[in-house]
């Protein structure tokens, strides 16, 4: 009986038993262990499954005809997606975490020491514990499908591989390649996995089980899993120098540690612990480190983010549960600048036909060049071949008129941040496309209600806020008005997911959620500069507490003129509780100091790139002539600057929740981390409040309010939570 044939009335223990079954050896002596966790789209390795895995191995070992064993998934969508996160979240002590790791190690040891050849048949996701299981096999066969990905992503949860991966992976692929996988958590496609020795064969999806059985039979006959490639002398010498001796390994590990510290500033314990454990090279070191990391605040914050991602995967917005989304095959793109080009590029990459419109032919050409460049990088990475690039480029076209827009299912605008222009776009689209076309506006701050004010069909107007660069940033913020149709909301939500994005749905207001909470953060940085703090010290204060870039750098990247326009919108809406700095920024814009795009900003640029000295960006000292304190700079207090920046953002995030702009705290946490760079290990502003307690946050805000004024007055929701002891999460 397969897992899919189980009745719903069976107990949880029976379900775990049925999740793994043994198929007896065939005429060649090859048996198959099938893993198919019931009632789940993907297989995960839970604590409950470990005894069942052991029992099935014992059953297989008792098969007198068995000569070799294949491990395969009964799921059409993947191999094994990793460990069950719920098991990890239930752990309350480091000792218990170590025990979990040891249990996983023992199961993999049982597989590795099975006594007969074993082959993992991999299609789809082979992640975390799934890859560790595959590593314990004698050999691995993977499908050539784009869906097939191999990775050890535990570092992204603040952890390390805990079922033997830190020991087995370096043995298989070498130290440098193993560290790259474990320290980044990145996905490895099948062809690259074959090249690096992570898998032994790559076959078409339809041939997977046959190829795995054939390889298992060949191994049983004493044949090697793959022919060893002859290495040139240079490669052999390099491997011997760096990985074949103790001194070389120490050099590799030392360089890796330097890189980790440069990228993480020591804020994330997991990558540093991975280096320690790999250097030790023992299962005992791995399990002990796993248990310790499981209890860190950083891991809890990162696992909370995973919870947010999972919780929001099926959240398409208010009143959408019983509504069907429309099919979207063709999208019109208004504006072929950087943002429009990025949106079009991602849509075409996912198979959607896109017609671009701009007022200049040069802009259309630039957008197509942009797409060609992005796709070219994918070809180099072997994500697809040149034919795949040609296919994607064939989905893109453009012009200076509305030709090709008549049959668009959705039109997305990314024109200048001017309300009259955006309203004109709505009117033109309503007249030139089929009447039910959805109009999605990519505005940063202008209320969607204002943009739709003169629309014939305001129910078809919605906000679709992307982040730049679109092909890299993982979030889309969808903004609904009181008139937006649930069908429209669901359609745009599903389209965003088709683009491979995480989605948050928020209610309409000036700045929505992400721009609105970013504004106080940026404003506080401006106040700090006006006070005489060095601008690079302000950036340092932000990165020291975990922001990927500082607010001053962000101003240069986004564009000082763009920031000015956003602040104008925010000032008109939120002066009742926000303070806004003097208009000194106007002087920057007046002299053409617009940031990196103009090669003139707070920092020095050459050819559009930052100029650095000893690894630090060089400040353009002329900017201080526009500030009240001139070049009489203060000795910065980094801790207080960081406190001001993070609490300004957190306070506004909670205010948004209290006003109903956010529909749930998960959207607030995911949006802040993936949209505007809130420190990921903190888990988002709402988990930040829960971690430190609302009473503590209010006290810290009050202290800043006494020193800097009303902009730090804690919002009503925080004050109420401080009084009642309430939390955002249970």
| Residue position matching structure tokens 């007249």 | 431
> Shortest CA distance to 727 belongs to which of 696, 682, 681, 706?
696
How many residues make up the chain in this entry?
730
**672: nearest Cα among 644, 696, 695, 652:** 652
- Cβ distance 708 to 295 under 8 Å? no
Strand (E) or helix (H) holding 151: strand 149-151
DSSP string, 426-442: HHHHHHHS-TT-EEEE-
Longest dimension (CA), the chain: 86
Cα four-point dihedral sign 624, 627, 632, 634: negative
φ/ψ of residue 257, rounded to 5: -65, -40
Contacts of residue 593, defined as CB under 8 A and 6 or more positions apart, other chains included, come to: 560, 600, 601, 623
Q: What is the DSSP letter of 598?
A: G
Active site (annotated) includes residue 640? no
Pick from 113, 187, 105, 98: nearest CA to 146: 187
DSSP state of 228: P
> What does the alpha-carbon distance between residue 225 and residue 53 come to, in Å, rounded to a whole number?
24
Neighbours of 727 (CB within 10 A): 15
Contact (CB, 8 A) for 14 and 50: no
**Helices vs strands, H then E, count in the chain:** 30, 22
The CA-CA-CA angle for residues 447, 450, 455, to 5°, reads: 130
Q: Which of 132, 154, 417, 477 is catalytic?
A: 477
Instruction: Please list the residues that pair with 476 across neighbouring strands.
Output: 503
Question: Which strand (E) or helix (H) includes residue 191?
Answer: helix 190-196
3-state secondary structure of 507: strand
φ, ψ for residue 300, nearest 5 deg: -65, -40
Token pair in block for residue 208: 């997977």
What residues act catalytically?
477
């Amino acid at each position: 009986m397969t897992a899919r044939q189980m009745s719903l009335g069976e107990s949880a223990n029976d379900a775990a038993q049925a999740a793994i079954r043994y198929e007896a050896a065939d005429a060649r002596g090859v048996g198959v262990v099938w893993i198919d966790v019931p009632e789940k789209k993907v297989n995960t390795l839970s604590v409950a499954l470990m005894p069942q895995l052991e029992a099935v191995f014992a059953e297989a070992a008792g098969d007198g005809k068995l000569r070799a064993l294949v491990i395969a998934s009964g799921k059409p969508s993947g191999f094994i997606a990793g460990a069950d996160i719920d098991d990890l979240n239930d752990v309350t002590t480091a000792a218990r975490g170590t025990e979990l790791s040891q249990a996983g190690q023992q199961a993999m040891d049982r597989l590795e020491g099975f006594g007969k050849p074993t082959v993992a048949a991999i299609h789809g996701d082979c992640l975390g514990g799934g890859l560790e299981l595959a590593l314990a096999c004698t050999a691995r066969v993977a499908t050539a499908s784009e869906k097939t990905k191999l990775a050890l992503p535990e570092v992204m949860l603040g952890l390390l591989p805990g079922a033997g991966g830190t020991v087995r992976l370096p043995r298989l692929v070498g130290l440098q390649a193993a560290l790259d996988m474990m320290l980044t958590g990145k996905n490895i496609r099948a062809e690259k996995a074959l090249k690096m020795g992570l898998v032994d064969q790559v076959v078409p999806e339809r041939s997977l089980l046959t190829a795995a059985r054939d390889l298992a039979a060949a191994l049983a006959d004493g044949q090697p899993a793959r022919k060893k490639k002859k290495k040139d002398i240079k490669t052999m010498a390099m491997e011997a120098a760096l990985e074949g001796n103790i001194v070389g390994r120490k050099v590799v590990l030392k360089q890796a540690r330097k890189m980790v510290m440069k990228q993480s500033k020591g804020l994330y314990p997991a990558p540093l612990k991975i280096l320690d454990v790999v250097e030790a090279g023992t299962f005992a070191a791995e399990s002990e480190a796993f248990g310790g990391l499981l209890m860190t605040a950083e891991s809890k914050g990162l696992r909370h983010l995973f919870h947010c991602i999972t919780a929001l995967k099926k959240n398409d917005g208010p009143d959408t549960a019983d509504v069907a989304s429309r099919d979207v095959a063709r999208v019109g793109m208004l504006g072929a600048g950087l943002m429009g080009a990025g949106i079009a590029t991602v849509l075409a990459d996912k198979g959607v036909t896109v017609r671009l419109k701009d007022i200049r032919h040069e802009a259309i050409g630039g957008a197509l060049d942009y797409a060609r460049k992005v796709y070219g990088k994918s070809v180099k990475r072997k994500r697809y071949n040149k034919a795949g690039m040609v296919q994607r480029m064939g989905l893109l076209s453009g012009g200076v008129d509305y030709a090709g827009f008549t049959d668009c299912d959705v039109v997305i605008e990314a024109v200048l941040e001017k309300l009259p222009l955006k309203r004109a776009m709505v009117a033109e689209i309503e007249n030139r496309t089929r009447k039910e076309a959805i109009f999605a506006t990519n505005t940063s701050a202008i209320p969607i209600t204002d943009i739709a004010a003169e629309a014939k069909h305001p129910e078809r107007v919605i906000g679709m806020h992307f982040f730049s660069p679109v092909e890299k940033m993982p979030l889309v913020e969808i903004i609904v008005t009181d008139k937006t149709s649930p069908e429209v909301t669901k359609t745009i939500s599903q389209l965003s997911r088709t683009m491979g994005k995480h989605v948050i749905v928020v209610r309409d207001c000036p700045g929505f959620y992400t721009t609105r909470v970013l504004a106080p953060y940026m404003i506080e940085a401006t106040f700090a500069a006006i006070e005489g703090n060095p601008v690079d010290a302000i950036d340092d204060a932000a990165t020291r507490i975990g922001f990927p870039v500082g607010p001053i750098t962000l101003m240069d990247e986004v564009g000082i003129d763009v920031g000015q326009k956003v602040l104008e919108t925010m000032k008109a809406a939120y002066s009742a509780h926000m303070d806004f700095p003097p208009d000194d920024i106007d002087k920057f814009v007046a002299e053409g100091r617009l940031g990196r795009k103009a090669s003139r900003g707070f920092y020095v640029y050459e050819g559009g790139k930052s100029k650095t000295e000893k690894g630090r960006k060089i400040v353009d000292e002329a900017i201080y002539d526009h500030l009240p304190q001139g070049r009489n700079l203060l000795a910065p207090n980094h801790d207080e600057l960081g406190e001001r920046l993070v609490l300004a953002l957190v306070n506004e995030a909670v205010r948004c929740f209290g006003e109903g702009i956010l529909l749930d705290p998960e959207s607030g946490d995911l949006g802040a981390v993936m949209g505007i760079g809130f420190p990921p290990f903190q888990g988002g502003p709402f988990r930040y409040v829960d971690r430190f307690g609302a009473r503590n946050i209010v006290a810290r805000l009050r202290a800043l309010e006494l020193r800097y004024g009303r902009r730090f007055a804690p919002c009503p929701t925080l004050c109420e939570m401080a009084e009642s002891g309430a939390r955002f999460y249970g």
